Amino acid sequence: MATEAHDDLKGRKYIMKMQLAEIAQALNIEPQDGWNDITVTSVSFDSRKISAGALFVPLIGDNDGHHFVEAAKDNGAVATLWQEDHSDFPEDLPFLTVENSLKSLQQLGRYYLQKINPRVVAITGSNGKTTTKDMVASILSTQFHVKKTPENFNNEIGVPMTCLTMEPNTEVLVVELGMDRFGQLDYLSKLVAPDVAVITMIGEAHIEFFGTRDKIADAKMEITHGLTEDGYFIYNGDEPLLVSRAKDETMSQLTFGNNESNDVTATQIEGHDDSTSFKVAAYPDISFSIPMLGTYNVNNALAAISVGQVFRISPENMEKSLKNFTITKNRAEWVTGKKGEKILSDVYNSNPTAAKKVIEAFSQVPTDGKRYVVLGDMLELGDKAAQMHASVADAIDPSEISGVYLCGDLMKNLGNALQDKLSSSQIHQYGVGQKEQLYSDLDQELTANDMVMIKGSHGIALEKVLVSLIGD
């Protein structure tokens, strides 16, 4: 798409517009007479976030969404799907009877994706997939109208919802695909049928469900199952588990990483307080920079640059977009505490590889005060969870870290491993339900010159500590 045409689209509001008859046809069902001409302008499964003109999709989870249809109607829903095993049909809201509301949501998401027909970039990986998604979207937005996965909408519900929130003028969909079991990426990949599939890395995330990194690699490769016939597979060429599997694939491929044998490699990597600079071997005259702490994030940028090459984005545009891209909240994000202390918030998720890399980067940021680390349990690590938590001690340098605050039963293993490195007064341990005490103890130590790093699995909810530190 030409830049001039892209500029002409800026600032214009586009929304979905489908009649209920079209939705019924997409789901292979017949609407009742009189409802065909109802116009739907959005889709939602949360009755609290319904907007006027919405189709409400009641999903069955911890709560049954069918119980909230009246609230959805009151908030503006004009129609709803209704799972056929629920007999109490709405009396004053048009509905389409479906066999399974979740499968119908997925089917509708696939239909709308095919209707808008953007090119699709799908991204997965044990670490870095959200950051890479943000980088890719920023690069491609220099020439295309791009929609990207919001927040953590990367599963069987979030992916079709991402499709259904595309503006009709979307030219590229950048979608993050999550995984915690075999078959999940196979399904999601076939749902979105990517033109480009990216694997950032293979780590220990979800190893509880897979047992070994080899099996994690097998599951990650499922992202290629829906790849279009002329699609590209982009992956970390430093990972032998991916290199060996890619040899058996026939699609076009690009690799990125530290080894010179990769198609896209970085040179002259330099870490700074809140940014990282580097050069790319293919573009020796251009200096790249990303607004993120940690040289490990360069690989994510290389993956994004590889996607940019497939879409023929100029290196100059890639450089400008990476320098200013917007990071999804709570991913290695610097914020300021109420005392003036600097806080590195990385509370969305955690695993041993990621935790070590962030701690090492945090330890190198200059400060006139002290550095404190707050760590929460890392979940879904299986039988080796104790050992993996203890291994994080390798990244903690007692000359750089003044104290650690550990939250959760599994983090006791790290506390034990640190006893040879830190004094007992520097190791603070808390149960998951003791976050207020953790905050109170940490707050007493902090001064305006200090720095705090916070990281843990989402289920531990360390964002509560973050909110307390930031204050009102």
Question: pLDDT digit string (tens) for 309-325?
Answer: 999 999 999 999 999 99
Matching CATH number, 117-324, of 3.40.225.10, 3.40.1190.10, 3.30.450.20, 3.90.180.10:
3.40.1190.10
pTM: 0.84
Domain ranges of the chain: 13-99, 117-324, 333-470
Q: Which residues are annotated as a binding site?
A: 125-131
pLDDT at 207: 65
Say which range, 12-16, 300-304, 417-421, has the weakest mean pLDDT. Answer: 12-16
Q: Indicate if the pLDDT at residue 24 is higher than 70.
A: yes
pLDDT tens string 310-366: 999 999 999 999 999 988 776 778 899 999 999 998 887 788 888 998 999 899 899
The CATH code that applies to domain 333-470 is: 3.90.190.20
pLDDT at 127: 83
pLDDT at 379: 85
pLDDT at 274: 82
Q: Indicate if the pLDDT at residue 11 is higher than 70.
A: no
Domain 13-99 has CATH 3.40.1390.10: yes
pLDDT tens string 218-258: 999 999 999 999 999 999 999 999 999 999 899 999 999 99
Q: Which residues are annotated as a binding site for ATP?
A: 125-131
pLDDT at 1: 33
pLDDT at 34: 79
Average pLDDT, integer, range 369-396 = 92
Q: Indicate if the pLDDT at residue 472 is higher than 80.
A: no
User: From residue 125, how far is each of 161, 207, 242, 246, 351 by CA, in Å?
Assistant: 21, 13, 11, 15, 12
Q: How confident is the model at residue 206 (pLDDT cuts 50, 70, 90)?
A: low
Q: Indicate if the pLDDT at residue 13 is higher than 60.
A: no
pLDDT tens string 128-157: 899 999 999 999 999 999 999 998 899 999
Say which range, 22-26, 96-100, 120-124, 272-276, has the weakest mean pLDDT. Answer: 272-276
pLDDT at 208: 65
Q: Indicate if the pLDDT at residue 5 is higher than 70.
A: no
Kindly state the percentage of the chain with pLDDT values over 70. Answer: 95
Tokens of 420: 């040879």
Burial class (CB in 10 A: 0-12, 13-18, 19+), 285: exposed
b (16+ CB within 10 A) / e for 145-164 = bbbbbeeebbbbbbbbbbbb
CB 218 within 8 A of CB 244: no
pLDDT at 10: 34
